[in-house]
């Protein structure tokens, strides 16, 4: 068991060039993520471990990687998935 974060751009425009989504913060997460098992659309993600962490006391996960998720219209859907440490 782990988590899934997905997105879908319904009205994307090629005229707009948003920055990449490089950091995701998850609040209220009760398990320790396995940071070596993160996958974006099935491909392994190399996280920046100097900025990626889990704080059990706050139940807070911060995931960070340069150019983690593109929000361009050419890539309308994405799925970031991961498992937990037990």
Q: Write the pLDDT tens digit of every residue in 38-71.
A: 999 999 999 999 999 999 999 999 999 999 988 8
Q: Check if the beta carbon of residue 47 is closer than 8 Å to that of residue 67.
A: no
Backbone angles phi, psi at 21, to 5 degrees: -90, 110
Q: Model-level pTM?
A: 0.85
The band of 86, judged by pLDDT with boundaries at 50, 70 and 90, is: confident
The edge-to-edge listing of strands for the beta sheet with 77-83 is 2-8, 77-83, 39-40, 43-44
Considering the chain, what is the average pLDDT of its residues?
90
């Amino acid at each position: 068991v782990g988590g899934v974060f997905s997105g879908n751009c319904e009205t994307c425009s090629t005229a707009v060039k948003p920055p990449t989504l490089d950091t995701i913060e998850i609040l209220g997460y009760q398990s320790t993520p396995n940071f070596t098992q993160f996958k974006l659309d099935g491909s392994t993600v190399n996280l920046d471990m100097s900025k990626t962490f889990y704080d059990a006391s706050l139940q807070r996960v911060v995931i960070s990687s340069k150019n983690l998720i593109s929000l361009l219209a050419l890539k309308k859907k994405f799925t970031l998935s991961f498992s937990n440490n037990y």
